[in-house]
Amino acid sequence: MNMYRVSPGEVVNLSDCSPEDTQFFSGTKKDAEKIFDDLNKELESAQELLYAEHKHKILVVLQAMDTGGKDGVIRHVFDGVNPQGVRVANFKVPTPIELDHDYLWRVHREIPGKGEIVIFNRSQYEDVLVVRVHNLVPEKVWSKRYTQINEFERMLTKEGVTILKYFLNISKEEQKKRLLARIEDPTKQWKFRIGDLKERELWENYQKAYEDVLRNTSTEWAPWYIVPSNKKWYRNLVVASILVKQLKKLEMHYPEPEENLDNITIN
């Protein structure tokens, strides 16, 4: 999966990153779904072990344009995991209390504890994306945040947090199809907002903002992965493969029992 990993300082041009790419897998969609099912079972087992060992902390960051598939990744990749050890944190428009604090305050409160996986549906990066595109603060303010976020994530990793950051890359044409699908499907209309169309008009501005985020904040300790996401099955396969591989690297073990169980009798 290193093909999708952004090297520190790498200049990223999203126009060169095909959202249709499927080079990681050469089989059929049906074959991929079988592999994904196996990965999902591996993830379930690894998550149970993570929870039992109560040592490591996993932070998964999902960022994307509207309709990019953050909810879909959460629903499919984490299907079947134990909800005791996995939770999702959403970062929408800051509340008045959150605005009274520094922009990382609300983020730090949601960082995973030992044995926990936390998925960020949007994240601290909204403060160098939406804030930048909509000119909510001056450039001299948001431009400093790349370094601040890197230092924040560096501190987290030193405290035992493993960070995986995914940019779910879709094309503008694919976004159009997904927005139309929301309008035409009564079960999805609730997800559509007129504001989505206003954000769509800023597509190029967001692409530039994402390119700068990827270049400035993909580090050895908290790498970004640009995941081709026009094909949902492939997106899920890539995200799950990277996550399971990283969990295996932790070399986790179940804790020893408190007592010698060899002579235990239960009447």
Q: CA angle 236-238-240, nearest 5°?
A: 65
In a domain, 190, yes or no: yes
In a domain, 188, yes or no: yes
Which residue, among 48, 43, 38, 45, has the nearest Cα to 60 in the 3D structure?
Answer: 43
In a domain, 206, yes or no: yes
Query: What is the DSSP code (8-state) at residue 128?
Result: G
Which residue, among 30, 78, 52, has the nearest Cα to 252 in the 3D structure?
Answer: 52
Range of the domain at 160: 2-249
User: So what's the pLDDT on residue 241?
Assistant: 96
Cross-strand bridge partners of residue 180 = none
CATH number at residue 201: 3.40.50.300
pLDDT tens string 80-130: 999 999 999 999 889 999 999 999 999 999 999 999 999 999 999 999 999
- The number of distinct structural domains making up the chain is 1
In a domain, 264, yes or no: no
Predicted confidence band at 257 (pLDDT cuts at 50, 70, 90)? Answer: confident
Q: Which residues contact 158 (CB under 8 A, 6 or more apart)?
A: none
User: So what's the pLDDT on residue 259?
Assistant: 76
Predicted confidence band at 139 (pLDDT cuts at 50, 70, 90)? Answer: very high
Q: For the whole model, what pTM was predicted?
A: 0.94
User: So what's the pLDDT on residue 255?
Assistant: 92
What is d(CA 160, CA 112) in angstroms, rounded to the nearest whole number?
Answer: 10
**Residue 123 and residue 59 in contact, taking contact as beta carbons nearer than 8 Å:** no
Predicted confidence band at 59 (pLDDT cuts at 50, 70, 90)? Answer: very high
In a domain, 6, yes or no: yes
In a domain, 261, yes or no: no
In a domain, 7, yes or no: yes
In a domain, 191, yes or no: yes
